[in-house]
Chains A and B, each alone.
Chain A
Amino acid sequence: MAERKRRGEDPADDNLNDETFEDTVDAEDDDVADEPVSRGGTATLSKAKAEAADSPAKEKKPGRGPFARIGRFFREVVAELRKVIWPTRNELLTYTAVVIVFVAVMMTVVALLDFGFAKGVLAIFG
């Protein structure tokens, strides 16, 4: 029972450990952090991290100059934009209609409220 409970809590513990690992370790967190299972987890995790740092994720060639780098950046922006999923015509129309209805409803509500309050204030102070 206790074992299962511990296992269930594992992700949360892991999370806590990660954070203490990245900052300097706090004395306060120690009692939570000294669970052996998840400490092992953190160790492999940090190892994986160190490994990963060696192999760069992107095929980044060193830029020849600022202009070349800016040019490449813009080409990458365009490349990413091509992969963007744009809303379909149907979606666009529905969302636009919903937003317009929402704004119209809110505007009516606020206008009514304002009208009422203005009358009331005028009656009292005017």
Chain B
Amino acid sequence: MLSAFLSAFRTPDLRKKLLFTVAIIAVYRLGATLPSPGVSFSNVQKCIDIMESGATSGVFSLLNLFSGGALLSLSVFALGIMPYITASIILQLLTVVIPRLEQLRKEGQSGQAKITQYTRYLTLGLAVLQSSAFVALARSGQLFSNQCDQFPIVPENTGLPMWITLVALVITMTAGTGVVMWLGELITDRGVGNGMSVLIFTSIAARLPSEGWAIKESRGWAWFIAVLALVLLVITLVVFIEQAQRRIPVQYAKRMIGRKMYGGTSTYIPLKVNQAGVIPVIFASSLLYLPQLILQFFDQNDPGPVQSWVQNNIVDPASWIHIVIYFLLIIFFTYFYVSITFNPTEVAENMKKYGGFVPGIRPGKPTADYLDFILSRITLPGSLYLGVISILPNFFFIWLDNNQFQNFPFGGTAVLIMVGVGLETVKQIESQLMQRNYEGFLR
């Protein structure tokens, strides 16, 4: 296996891609560390220390996890990839609703480019909203739950008028989001893996060591090892399900092209039990953060009945309503994403074109129906599995006391994303490696 890692670096084009991806990740982490203008770096550090030693860790635990700890330190990339994800969900959902967008999607390359363009604009819009919300929170001290009011994060006595500082902050963070979006697309185009997932993966990877250490510090070695064993179990389970396939046999007819004989082979279409990968989880969790974001625009100190209901039932990850909504969202997005990425009609048409057929099923529409039938049945266990694994940590919230494990990043969403993205990326490297030598990691 280790030799495969070495040979991955010995292959010139693969080495270039890997190094490129690592370089982008380095830029991303640099931006996540770099403080925005107008933010007092030393005060932020003190506040984070207070937060980490305190019992209540902030409201934005998952958001902070997804931005790799950049959010609380109000760095240049504080918003991370979240606005981009939210924007792409919104656009993909709208594609189903708005006929014009659907038309664009069917148009092929140019239409897709148009949709991407809209996604980018929407991302910047969301970034402006989100960054102003966070800047306002930071100003009022609520970003750190008012535990850190003696150290103002955005100091007043800078000699500049306050509004200039605030506007500069919002502009910086919005621009940072734009850069993160670009970095993600660069990884997709010229690196390995899907840019969006790789960046989230990086953020989570940045948080995990310190979160793990926090568990050890607060609960001791026995708990630490128990959690580690649990994570190992979850990883194995995730790998097990991700690898499970329903293979639909396909027989190709023999045919002569010129003087050569082609086809006559039998292969299969691999339908994974979880055809959608980790995207549904990312989508569901970022969609579930919208209500929390909207809440930030209202007065925090005097919550109305609606506001406090939303706060207690939808935002709070330990409430049953939150868990049920999360679970249902994941199931919905699994079906949704599968329907976007796998088109049975197209696959059936392609098979027919090259003389392939599923034994016992007529080519064309019956085959498409058959594929659709299997896909809709096989996706149900897939989506249930995604949902169950993702809500595991919420059960921990309920089972354990609430405060200690507010930031609990193990067992669910985070591990699922880590393993899913890891598996996807390794497989992509593997298939690139296969073009050169026959031995890969997975042998």
Contacts and interface: CB of A to CB of B under 8 A. Distances in A.
Contacts of A15: 353
Contacts of A11: 353-354
Contact of B106 (A23, A87, A106): A23
A92 to B, nearest CB: 6
Contact of B361 (A57, A85, A106, A111): A57
Nearest to A120: B33
A117 to B, nearest CB: 4
B34 A98 contact: no
Given A73-B377, A84-B378, A102-B422, A110 B30 contact: no
A52 to B, nearest CB: 4
A5 interface: no
B202 A106 contact: yes
B153 to A, nearest CB: 13
A117 B34 CA distance: 8
Nearest to B420: A99
A107 interface: yes
A32 to B, nearest CB: 13
A109 B365 CA distance: 50
B364 interface: yes
Interface residues of B, number: 57
Contacts of A111: 206, 209
B384 to A, nearest CB: 10
Contacts of A126: 41-42, 45
Interface stretch (B139-147, B240-248, B320-328): B240-248
Interface stretch (B127-135, B218-226, B298-306, B368-376): B368-376
B1 A97 contact: yes
A117 B30 contact: yes
A81 interface: yes
B261 interface: no
Interface in A72-107: 73, 76-77, 79-81, 83-87, 91-92, 94-103, 106-107
Pick the most buried of B30, B33, B369, B442: most chain A CB atoms within 10 A of its CB. B33
A118 to B, nearest CB: 6
A77 B374 CA distance: 8
A113 interface: yes
A106 B201 contact: yes
Interface in B336-391: 349, 353-354, 361-367, 369-370, 373-374, 377-378, 380-381
A77 B381 CA distance: 8
Query: Do most interface residues of chain A lie in helix, strand or loop, or is the interface mixed?
Result: helix
A113 B25 contact: yes
Contacts of B30: 113, 117
A122 B206 CA distance: 18
B193 to A, nearest CB: 11
Given A18-B349, A126-B45, A85 B246 contact: yes
Nearest to B378: A80
- Of the candidates A11, A14, A94, A102, the one having the most CB atoms from chain B within 10 angstroms of its own CB is A102
Given A84-B378, A102-B422, A113-B26, A92 B273 contact: no
Contact of A76 (B29, B206, B354, B377): B377
A110 B206 contact: yes
A52 B349 CA distance: 13
B1 A87 contact: no
B370 A99 contact: no
A48 interface: yes
15 contacts: A11-B354, A45-B364, A52-B365, A52-B366, A57-B365, A77-B380, A80-B374, A81-B378, A81-B381, A96-B235, A99-B239, A103-B422, A107-B208, A113-B25, A126-B42
Given A57-B373, A94-B441, 17 more contacts: A55-B366, A57-B366, A73-B377, A76-B377, A77-B378, A79-B377, A84-B273, A84-B378, A92-B236, A96-B235, A98-B442, A99-B235, A99-B422, A103-B205, A103-B419, A110-B29, A113-B30
